[in-house]
Amino acid sequence: GAVVSQHPSWVICKSGTSVKIECRSLDFQATTMFWYRQFPKQSLMLMATSNEGSKATYEQGVEKDKFLINHASLTLSTLTVTSAHPEDSSFYICSARETGSYGYTFGSGTRLTVV
């Protein structure tokens, strides 16, 4: 079945630095990938839709200059949290949908802690 690999699983960074999270579709091509964020005791919230070869579409309230998304190939999307602050500490997870499929395949997520 479709597999999405996400790295790193967890990361601790200092306030003010940037962190890059990778999401790869291993056995299918994904023209569209999705980035979600989950705060404690809340649901997964869509941050942005990443489109291969074009600009990402951000949900309302998500700062595009802070959360940089790059989808340079059909199998890789990256999310860079720039100038991270402690309030950016959260669980970030990506997903992708294989063309022709109803279902969405998720990565295993990244726990980001900003100290």
Partner 1 sequence: ILNVEQSPQSLHVQEGDSTNFTCSFPSSNFYALHWYRWETAKSPEALFVMTLNGDEKKKGRISATLNTKEGYSYLYIKGSQPEDSATYLCAFKNFGNEKLTFGTGTRLTIIP
| Interacting residue ranges for partner 1, rule: CB under 8 A | 4, 6, 9, 32, 34, 36, 41-46, 49, 93, 95, 97, 102-109
- Tell me the three state secondary structure of residue 25: strand
Q: State the nearest-atom distance from the C-beta of 102 to partner 1, in Å.
A: 4
Q: How far is the CB of 41 from partner 1 (least distance, A)?
A: 7
Residue 104: CB minimum distance to partner 1, A? 6
Residue 85: helix, strand or coil by DSSP? coil
Pairing of strands 10-13, 110-114: parallel
> Of the two residues 68 and 109, which places its CB atom closer to partner 1 in the complex?
109
DSSP string for 29-84 = --SEEEEEEE-TTS--EEEEEEETTS--EEPTT--TTTEEEEEEETTEEEEEE-S-
CB of 84 to partner 1, least distance (A): 23
Tell me the backbone φ, ψ of residue 88, rounded to 5 degrees: -85, -10
Residue with smaller CB distance to partner 1, 64 or 85: 64
CB nearer to partner 1: pick between 16 and 103 = 103
